[in-house]
Amino acid sequence: MNRYLKLVHMEVDRFKYILAGLMSLTLVCQFGAVIWMTMSAVSYRKSGAWRNGGSMDYSYSSSPTGNLSFTDVMSTTQSIFMIPILLSIGVLAIYVFLIWYRDWFGRNTFIYRLLILPTARRHIYFAKLTAILIFIFALVSFQLAVLPVEKSIFNLIVPSDLRDPSYFSDIIYSNPALGMLIPWHFDSFLVYYGIGIIAVIAIFAAILIERSYGRLGILYAILYLGISVILLLFPMFGLGLDDVNGYLYPNEIYTIELVMCVVVMSVSVWLGCRLISKKITV
């Protein structure tokens, strides 16, 4: 356990600059977008163009009074807000592969050292998995923590007589990427993050298959991922969740889907641990 935690610490430490970079980019993009949009909208109002029949698009307001709300600013800065979010998702998706492959490739093959540590090899597997989860939730938490700060900046720029109130749920739903990242309902949270975690675990198993079986391993890994995707999608599409004349009730299909998720996840974890313990080769 102690060595597992040390491995997690080491994995987090190795990603810290990239994580800090993504967080900084989020800050710069989102703060910049909020400040720029809010200041433009406020100066537009102060110039009197609003009262003289200016364009509604340029007013950034859904309020009939012409007042500004933080939700309006979030809504009009969607694309700039999405840039760091999508970039973070992209970087993490690539890092799911890199967290393994960087230890094999390059001048210094760190995997030699990792595999001869006096600890169970499954600790290496779980440390890498834990690190990925830490990065995901660190970025989501950071995004959540930044939103109230951005709202405070908005409040500082917009005079109170030009401001409409905004609610946290409206703020999140004004941006589809944020709505996906921070689902309002707990079951949606479980579904989105559950699918993400299963995908990471299945990819880990595929990487370890590839690393264990040489050139043939690439084929086996692709096959494994293909079978996993089919198993996960079959209950939803094969059994006809939307088909009212279907043989099974939706609840039964959901149960089958849940069982498939548990099966794919369990088999992937078991396979990953077994391969890294018995079959892996450097």
Q: Does 117 bind another protein (CB under 8 A)?
A: yes
Least distance (Å) between residue 135 CB and another protein? 17
Site mask, another protein, residues 137-166, x = CB under 8 A?
------------------------------
DSSP conformational letter for 49: T
Looking up tokens 């094999």 gives 104
Residue 64, interface with another protein (CB under 8 A)? Answer: no
Work out whether 279 is an interface residue with another protein (CB under 8 A). Answer: yes
Query: Rounded CA gap, 70 and 171, in Å?
Result: 7
Quick one: which of 20, 56, 98, 116 contacts another protein (CB under 8 A)? 116
Q: Which is nearer to another protein, 119 or 155 (CB)?
A: 119
Long-range contact set of residues 9-16: C-beta below 8 Å, sequence gap at least 24? 10/127, 11/99, 11/127, 11/128, 11/130, 11/131, 12/131, 12/134, 12/135, 15/95, 15/131, 15/135
Report the alpha-carbon distance of residue 76 to residue 39 in Å, rounded: 13
CB of 106 to another protein, least distance (A): 7
Number of chain positions touching another protein (CB under 8 A): 26
DSSP state of 163: B
Tell me which of 81, 92, 121, 131 binds another protein, using CB under 8 A. Answer: 121
Residues at the interface with another protein (CB under 8 A): 3, 6, 10, 14, 106-113, 115-121, 214-215, 278-282
